[in-house]
Structure 1
Amino acid sequence: MTNRTTVKTLTVEYPADGLTMVGHLALPGGVGPRPAVLIGPEGPGLNDFQRRRADTLAERGYVALAFDINGGRWFTDPQEMLAHVTPLLADPDRMRGIGHAALDVLRSEPRTDPARIAAIGYGTGGAIALELGRDGVDLRGIGTVNGLTTGRPGEAARIRCPVWAGVGSEDPIMPSAQRDAFTAEMQAAGVDWRLVVYGGALHAFHHPTVDQAVLPGVGHHPLHARRAWRDIVALLDEWVPVTE
């Protein structure tokens, strides 16, 4: 595992969706190409929680880009966030544009091995990771937490990698009907898919600063948050193992 003292972090600005996005790139120590991971944030935007995720993956030897979806903004008003995110989630082409822009930044980093890239995301960021797969992007794996969206008919057949999804059993934003639609889409497309339902967890259960006072149906579940992160790390070890 890479030592944390050797990790280098950079703020990267790039255009997407008519905005100037502000991403967080974390580079592992050493030299030579490394597998890479895109990390997509929740609807409110990119904050230190996901930046630390990128740093942690860099400590494990990955090039990691926590990408932006809101032009550098973190929405504190839930209604303002929903007004921004709801039209985005209804527009696969916009989501793909944001994902491709971030992917271009990651691929342009000299330390990135372009043949070994995975995409993970949370909520809106997970939906964007899925849309990259539906667009036929050559990824080694896709992981989505709380972002079990379905795509346009037939396009899931273009997914070229395994897909893992995690969701809380009590998530009213991703209820059982949505989970069923997602898994039916993956199964019909012949995708190598897995779904983990974390018992008793609400929406955004992975995030330590959310509660129902922010938005009904959301809440942190510390135990399942740790489990979901361990699951993701294990999947990355399977999809894009770091080899020195």
Structure 2
Amino acid sequence: MSLVTRLVDYPHADTRCEGFLAFDDACPGPRPGILIAHTWAGRDDFAMDKARALAAEGYVALALDMYGEGRVGDSPEACAQLMGGLIKDRLMLQDRIRAALETLRRQPEADPQRLAAMGFCFGGLCVLDLARSGADLRGVVSFHGLFTPPEPSSTAPIKSRLLVLHGFEDPMATPEQAVELGRELTARGADWQLHLFGNSMHAFTNPRANDPAFGTVYDPLADRRAWRLLMDFLAEVLE
């Protein structure tokens, strides 16, 4: 394997976004592309490590930048402030993640017809909104994401297949909200799956998560199971 990484600048409105692209240069020809939406912290090491891991599996992975200029929050308060503006303006959020998707589509290493997106926490909400917006991609995967739909809601069909990987004990998106998400996706004709991991809280894939009072705790078993489910899903939708 010959892992190659590079920063990719792309514009959205008046904001310069800075994505992180990873791929295996030993793989011949264009290969399936995966868009990675970061947590509320921004495009940090966690997101870039996921891009490297997907590159090792033969994908082209772009860790996107929802905040612009590669900004990363250094405290819960800073992260909440960075995320808050986009949560309040879901049309802006959808436009910005679509700009990242089109940037991935234009990369010479990526097959523009075989693209998927995955996101963690806030990024899970971002990729679900990408699917809700009718974006043209094969699949979407949410890891311990947020489920609240944008207002006004849409009834338009969802094109991409969806995989939702979630902790049953997640206080930020409860099992009841997961059921509501399922109803929403069914009403919009989506091909969807939902996997709830018992005894798992928010951020169960992040080894740095260790705050039970806040509801964020790493769960290595759920993390491994979720990654295997991801690999199977990507193999199915990107064949």
Does the pair score TM above 0.5? Answer: yes
How far has the Cα of 1:176 moved from its partner?
A: 2.2
- TM-aligned CA distance change 1:78 to 1:119, over 3 Å: same
How far has the Cα of 1:152 moved from its partner?
A: 4.0
Unmatched 5+ residue regions in structure 1? none
**Which residue of structure 2 aligns with residue 139 of structure 1?**
137
Q: In 2, Cα distance between the equivalents of 1:127 and 1:98? A: 13
User: 1:87 is matched by which residue type in structure 2?
Assistant: G
Q: Indicate if the aligned counterparts of 1:17 and 1:97 stay in contact, CA closer than 8 A.
A: no
**Which residue of structure 1 aligns with residue 109 of structure 2?**
111
**Which residue of structure 2 aligns with residue 65 of structure 1?**
62
Q: In 2, Cα distance between the equivalents of 1:65 and 1:168? A: 25
Q: Indicate if the aligned counterparts of 1:141 and 1:162 stay in contact, CA closer than 8 A.
A: yes
Q: In 2, Cα distance between the equivalents of 1:62 and 1:129? A: 18
**Which residue of structure 1 aligns with residue 11 of structure 2?**
15
**Which residue of structure 1 aligns with residue 126 of structure 2?**
128
Q: Indicate if the aligned counterparts of 1:96 and 1:135 stay in contact, CA closer than 8 A.
A: yes
- TM-aligned CA distance change 1:223 to 1:17, over 3 Å: farther
Q: Indicate if the aligned counterparts of 1:25 and 1:64 stay in contact, CA closer than 8 A.
A: yes
Q: Indicate if the aligned counterparts of 2:157 and 2:190 stay in contact, CA closer than 8 A.
A: no
Q: TM-score scaled to structure 1, two decimals?
A: 0.90
Is the partner of 1:155 in helix, strand or coil?
A: coil
Aligned residues: 236
For each residue in 1:181-217, what CA deviation from the matched residue of structure 2 results, as whole angstroms up to 9, or x when unmatched?
A: 211101111211111111111111111112217x711
- Overall identity of the aligned pairs, in %: 36
Unmatched 5+ residue regions in structure 2? none
- TM-aligned CA distance change 1:228 to 1:17, over 3 Å: farther
Q: In 1, Cα distance between the equivalents of 2:165 and 2:184? A: 16
**Which residue of structure 2 aligns with residue 163 of structure 1?**
162
User: 1:19 is matched by which residue type in structure 2?
Assistant: T
1:239 aligns with 2:237: yes
Q: TM-score scaled to structure 2, two decimals?
A: 0.92
Q: In 1, Cα distance between the equivalents of 2:226 and 2:13? A: 30
RMSD over aligned Cα atoms: 1.8
- TM-aligned CA distance change 1:184 to 1:111, over 3 Å: same
**Which residue of structure 2 aligns with residue 94 of structure 1?**
92
**Which residue of structure 1 aligns with residue 44 of structure 2?**
47
Q: Indicate if the aligned counterparts of 1:17 and 1:94 stay in contact, CA closer than 8 A.
A: no
